[in-house]
Chains A and B, each alone.
Chain A
Amino acid sequence: MVQSKAWMIVSLVLTCIVAAFALAEVYAVTRPTIERQAADALRASLAEVLPAASTFTEFEPGTVWSGHDASGARVGIVFKTQPRGYGGPITVVVGLDTAGIITGLGVGTDMKETPGLGLKARENWFRDQFKGRPADQVRLKRDNGTLDAISAATITSRAVTDGVRQGMEKHLHYLRP
C-alpha cells in the first residue's frame, strides 16, 4: 500500500470527487419524482376538502388557495393552518364555499399527537362535524359551542377547533368578490 503524503491527499480528494458525482446523479434522478409527489399530495389534500373544485390557484404561498370548477367559476377557498397541539403543530386544511361554510376538513398525516387519543382527530366522525358550519358555530361544547371533543384529548380537540375558527376569521375576506 502506498503511504506517501501525496497519495494521502490525492486519495481523499478522489474519494470526495467520486462521492460528490454519485450524489449529484442520485439527486438529479430522484428530484423530479420528489417534486411531483409533493405537488400530487398537495392537490389531493386540497381536493379532499373542497370537492366542488377541479383546479386550484395559490393566493398565499403554502397557505391559501382559491378553488375553481371546470368552467372557471370560483367555488370557494382552501386554507391551511397549523395550530399548536399537545405534541406539536397540527396541520389542518379547511375548505370553505363561497358563503364561508366549511365543506371539508383535513388533518395532517405527520401529527405527533398521542396515538389512540389526540391522533383520533384524524377520524371521520370528528372531522365531519365541522362540515356545513360557518365560523361562529365552530366551537367545542365545553367552550359554549356545539362540537364534540375527543374524550381525554381536550388539548388536541381545542387546538384543531380554535385553529379552524381563527383561520376562518382571518381568511374570510378572500371570499368577498
Chain B
Amino acid sequence: MNTTPSRWQYFVSGIIKENPVLILMIGLCPTLATSVSARDALGMAAAASFVLIGSNVVVSAIRKVVPSSVRIPIFIIVISTFVTIIDYVLQAYQPAMYRVLGVFVPLIVVNCIILGRAEAFAYGHGVFDSLLDALGKSVGYALVMLVMGSLREIFAAGTWFGQAVTPAWFRASPMLFMIFPPGAFFLIGILKALVNRLTIRA
C-alpha cells in the first residue's frame, strides 16, 4: 500500500475519485443553475476554476505566514479578490456569458469547493501540490458540468454547443422539463445514482 501519494495523484484524484460534485457533493448550487446548455456550463466551470486555482495557489504561497486563528477571514479575502477579478474581466470581455451566469459569478465566493480546498489542502501543502490539486478538481468539475449541460441542452433544445444534433421533429417539441429546475434536480439524481452503482460494484 502506498504511504505518500505521488504528486500526480493530487491531480488525478480530483477528476474521478474525489470529484467535487459527484463524490464530495459540494458546489451544487451553480452546477444546477448554470448548466442549461453545454456552453454556459463550461463558462461557469471556467470561472470557478480560475478562482479555485488562483486562490489555492495564493493561500498555499502565504500559508507559512498566516496565523491559523485568522486564516478563514484571510482565505475569504483572497477568494473574494479572485471572484471580483473574474467578475469584472467577464463583464468587460465576455458580456454575453456574464449575463448568463448572473448572480452566480459573485456566488463563487461561497462555493464550498473553493473554501473547502483552501482549508483542507492548500493551507497544508506546497504551492505546486496545491496547483495540481486545484487543477484536478477543476477538471473534475468541468467534466460534470459538461455532462449536465450537454444532456440538458440536447434534451431541451436538441442542440449541442448551439449546433443541431437531433432531427427537426425532436427540436420542434422541446423537453421543457430539462430546462426548468425540476429537470436539473432529476438529472443530477440520476447521475449520482449511476455513480453509486459504479462505485458500489467496485
| Chain A residues touching B, majority SS | helix
User: Once the chains bind, are B179 and A115 in contact (CB under 8 Å)?
Assistant: yes
Query: B156 at the A/B interface (Cβ < 8 Å)?
Result: yes
Given A12-B74, A109-B99, A116-B174, A23-B81 contact (CB < 8 Å) = yes
Bitwise, B89-130 to A at CB < 8 A (1) or not (0) is 101110110010000000000000000000000000000000
Among A4-38, those with CB < 8 Å from B are: 7-8, 11-12, 15-16, 19, 22-23, 26-27, 30-31, 33-34, 37
Partner of B73, one of A12, A26, A116: A12
A35 to chain B, nearest CB (A): 9
Query: B92 near A116 (CB under 8 angstroms)?
Result: no
Tally A-B pairs: CB < 8 A. 72
Query: Would B88 and A34 count as touching, CB distance under 8 A?
Result: yes
* A114-140 at interface with B (beta carbon < 8 Å): 114-117
- Tell yes or no: B5 within 8 A of A by CB: no
- Tell me the nearest residue of chain A to B171, going by C-beta: A116
The answer to whether B85 touches A23, judged by C-beta atoms less than 8 angstroms apart, is yes
Within the complex, the shortest CB–CB distance from A102 to chain B, in Å, comes to: 27
A53 shortest CB reach to chain B, Å: 24
B7 at the binding interface (Cβ < 8 Å): no
Measured in the bound complex, the distance between the Cα atoms of B92 and A71 in whole Å is: 34
For residue A124, give the distance in angstroms from its CB to the closest CB of chain B. 18
| Cross-interface CB contact of A23 among B65, B84, B96, B157, cutoff 8 Å | B84
The one of B67, B73, B88 that contacts A30, using a Cβ cutoff of 8 Å? B88
A172 to chain B, nearest CB (A): 32
Report chain B residues within 8 Å CB of A110: 99
Q: Are B74 and A15 in contact (CB under 8 A)?
A: yes
B interface: dominant SS? helix
Contact between chains at B77 and A37 (CB < 8 Å): no
Contact-residue bracket for chain A: 20 to 34
Interface string of B41-81 (1 = CB under 8 A from A): 00000000000000000000000111111100110011011
B176 contacts chain A at the CB level, 8 A cutoff: yes
Residues of A near B157 (CB, < 8 A) are 115-116
Tell me if A11 and B88 are in contact (CB < 8 A). no
Within 8 A of B (CB), among A81-118: 109-110, 114-117
Is A1 interfacial (CB-CB < 8 Å)? yes
Whether a CB of chain B sits under 8 angstroms from the CB of A144 is: no
- Choose among B88, B156, B176 the residue that contacts A26 (Cβ–Cβ < 8 A): B88
Q: Which residues of A contact B69 (CB under 8 A)?
A: 3, 8
Instruction: Enumerate 25 A-B pairs (CB-CB under 8 Å) in ascending A order.
Output: A1-B67, A2-B65, A3-B68, A7-B67, A8-B69, A11-B74, A12-B74, A15-B78, A19-B81, A26-B85, A26-B88, A27-B88, A31-B88, A33-B93, A34-B88, A34-B95, A41-B95, A109-B96, A109-B99, A114-B179, A115-B176, A115-B179, A116-B173, A116-B176, A117-B176
Instruction: Tell me the B residues contacting A by CB distance below 8 Å.
Output: 64-70, 73-74, 77-78, 80-81, 84-85, 88-89, 91-93, 95-96, 99, 156-157, 173-174, 176, 179
